[in-house]
Amino acid sequence: MAKWPKLDRRKFLLLVSGLGVALGAGGVATGVLVFSGGNPLLPGFRLDPDALLHVAEKYFASHPTEKSAEFLERELLAAVAPSGAGASLVDALAAAVRRDFDTRNTVVLDGWILSRTEVRVWVLQALK
């Protein structure tokens, strides 16, 4: 399986935080996030900034060992690795999100049942 090229942290964060723009306008508001309606896989990375902070606060409270940009970056890179280097980051993350649900690798935040990968993307942005 091809691996994602080594990204430096700054570049990765820029990519992740730029996903909201990449996914386009329009979408659906929920408790903690705004799902993008433009993305067929609904990874939903565009966030109300205040809500994002609440997500991070809640997640780190229950997962204190993950309060580290390095850790999150490493986990996210591992999550997207199965898609191979040829895939866009958006597609690779979307596939990781879908895989999370298929394998029940989910997190419950404020009642929402969410993919662990998508939550890690959000909280990484909060750490930024």
DSSP 3-state assignment of 35? strand
Query: CB of residue 70 vs other proteins: minimum separation in angstroms?
Result: 27
Nearer to other proteins, 43 or 123 (CB): 43
**What is d(CA 38, CA 23) in angstroms, rounded to the nearest whole number?**
6
Binding to other proteins in span 63-82, by CB under 8 A: none
Residues touching other proteins, count (CB under 8 A): 37
**What is d(CA 86, CA 34) in angstroms, rounded to the nearest whole number?**
28
Q: Taking each helix axis from N to C terminus, what angle separates 89-102 and 116-127, rounded to the nearest 10 degrees?
A: 130
If one asks whether residue 83 binds other proteins (CB under 8 A), the answer comes out as no
- With contact defined as beta carbons under 8 Å apart, do 78 and 4 qualify? no
Nearer to other proteins, 12 or 39 (CB): 39
Task: List residues binding other proteins (CB under 8 A).
Answer: 25-35, 37, 39-44, 48, 50-51, 54, 94, 97-98, 100-102, 104, 106, 108, 110-115
